[in-house]
């Protein structure tokens, strides 16, 4: 399926050029700009407030400007959901989307944007209408793409939480996912990476159910499927704190927010370096995100003889 993407800078990748491994590369993952949550959190009314989002605008601008200044260009910038705080149909939705798009329009045209849907973007119990509205604004709610020999799967994790109002769409999503994973297994694709808003788990695959993870039986079922299909890492948000753990060799990575922090982390993004055998990643605060920190981080993961035309183009 070739993804239908938003009118923002989502140049998509040429499949025939991107299917082969050409050397290490990197991308940047952000999560939860969630315009409006900082105010809502401050006043303690998470559901009905969030009528100001100047702070989130500034933070997202800071992220965009810092990324634009990087001389080693990331292959893309993925935002793992909860783009805005207002739930679908709420009066603030349109304004928050407008403001976020305005900020993101400044991203360097050489850096494609990839969007992942969060519960605040399509609703806790999404409907065909709320999903269609999301797709209109941000592109498909699930799709796959190739970059530098790596297959990326963007999922709609709300289907795993509550699909009671969109059963047919969930079935289509799950069938698509099964087919993607079966093809990945058959083709023995070395690196498959998943993006989904809600983490499968926060620390351990055996942990109890929580607002911030997937229900245990669904989680284990999904993790086994991922493992069989060769998925090496899942990158998520939703938790507004950094966390993560391992399911056998599969890395579950939970990235804190660009916007509102619910723990002790600083506003930031994650820099992800993909080498032939490993996926390395590090959360970097927006204040520290610079050419120097990114170059230092990347070179610490590369072997002396690593040929990396993808990095140094």
Binding site for Zn ion (CB under 5 A): 82, 118-119, 238
Query: C-beta of 81: minimal distance to Zn ion in Å?
Result: 6
Distance CA 277, CA 8 (A): 33
111 vs 269, which CB is nearer to Zn ion?
269
- Identify which of 104, 159, 149, 102 has the alpha carbon closest to the alpha carbon of residue 127: 159
Query: C-beta of 183: minimal distance to Zn ion in Å?
Result: 29
Residue number with the smallest Cβ distance to Zn ion = 238
82 vs 140, which CB is nearer to Zn ion?
82
Q: How many CA atoms lie within 13 A of 290 on its CB side?
A: 4
Token duo for residue 173: 């999503």
Sorted by sequence, the CB contacts under 8 Å of residue 272 that are 6+ apart come out as 26, 27, 28, 29, 235, 279, 280, 281
Alpha helices (H) along the chain: 15-18, 37-43, 54-68, 93-104, 119-122, 128-138, 158-161, 167-186, 216-229, 291-301
70 vs 86, which CB is nearer to Zn ion?
86
What is the three-class DSSP state of 229? helix
134 vs 146, which CB is nearer to Zn ion?
134
Query: C-beta of 168: minimal distance to Zn ion in Å?
Result: 24
Sorted by sequence, the CB contacts under 8 Å of residue 37 that are 6+ apart come out as 46, 50, 56, 82, 85, 259, 260
66 vs 80, which CB is nearer to Zn ion?
80
Query: C-beta of 45: minimal distance to Zn ion in Å?
Result: 17
Query: C-beta of 209: minimal distance to Zn ion in Å?
Result: 16
82 vs 99, which CB is nearer to Zn ion?
82
Q: In DSSP terms, which residues pair with 284 in a beta bridge?
A: 269
Query: C-beta of 237: minimal distance to Zn ion in Å?
Result: 7
């Amino acid at each position: 399926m070739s993804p239908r993407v938003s009118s923002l800078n989502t140049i998509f990748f040429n499949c025939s050029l991107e299917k082969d491994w050409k050397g290490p590369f990197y991308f940047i993952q952000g999560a939860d700009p969630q315009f409006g949550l900082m105010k809502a959190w401050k006043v303690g009314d998470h559901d009905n407030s969030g009528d100001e989002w100047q702070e989130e605008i500034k933070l997202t601008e800071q992220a965009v400007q810092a990324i634009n200044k990087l001389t080693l260009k990331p292959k893309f910038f993925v935002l793992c959901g909860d783009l805005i705080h207002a739930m679908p149909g709420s009066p603030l939705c349109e304004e928050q989307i407008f403001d976020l798009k305005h900020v993101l329009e400044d991203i360097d045209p050489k850096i494609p944007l990839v969007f992942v849907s969060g519960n605040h973007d399509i609703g806790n119990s999404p409907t065909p209408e709320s999903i269609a509205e999301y797709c209109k604004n941000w592109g498909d709610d699930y799709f796959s793409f190739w970059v530098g020999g790596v297959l990326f799967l963007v999922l709609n994790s709300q289907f795993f939480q509550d699909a009671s109002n969109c059963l047919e769409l969930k079935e289509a999503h799950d069938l698509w996912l099964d087919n993607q994973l079966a093809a990945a297994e058959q083709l023995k694709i070395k690196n498959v990476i998943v993006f989904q808003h809600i983490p499968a788990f926060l620390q351990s695959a055996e942990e109890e159910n929580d607002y911030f993870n997937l229900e245990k039986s669904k989680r284990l079922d999904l993790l086994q499927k991922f493992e069989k299909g060769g998925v090496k890492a899942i990158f998520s948000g939703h938790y507004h704190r950094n966390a993560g753990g391992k399911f056998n060799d599969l890395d579950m990575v939970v990235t804190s927010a660009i916007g509102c922090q619910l723990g002790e982390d600083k506003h930031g993004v994650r820099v992800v370096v993909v080498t032939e055998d490993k996926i390395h990643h590090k959360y970097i605060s927006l204040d520290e995100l610079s050419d120097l920190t990114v170059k230092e981080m990347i070179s610490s993961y590369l072997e002396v003889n690593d040929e990396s035309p993808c990095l140094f183009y």
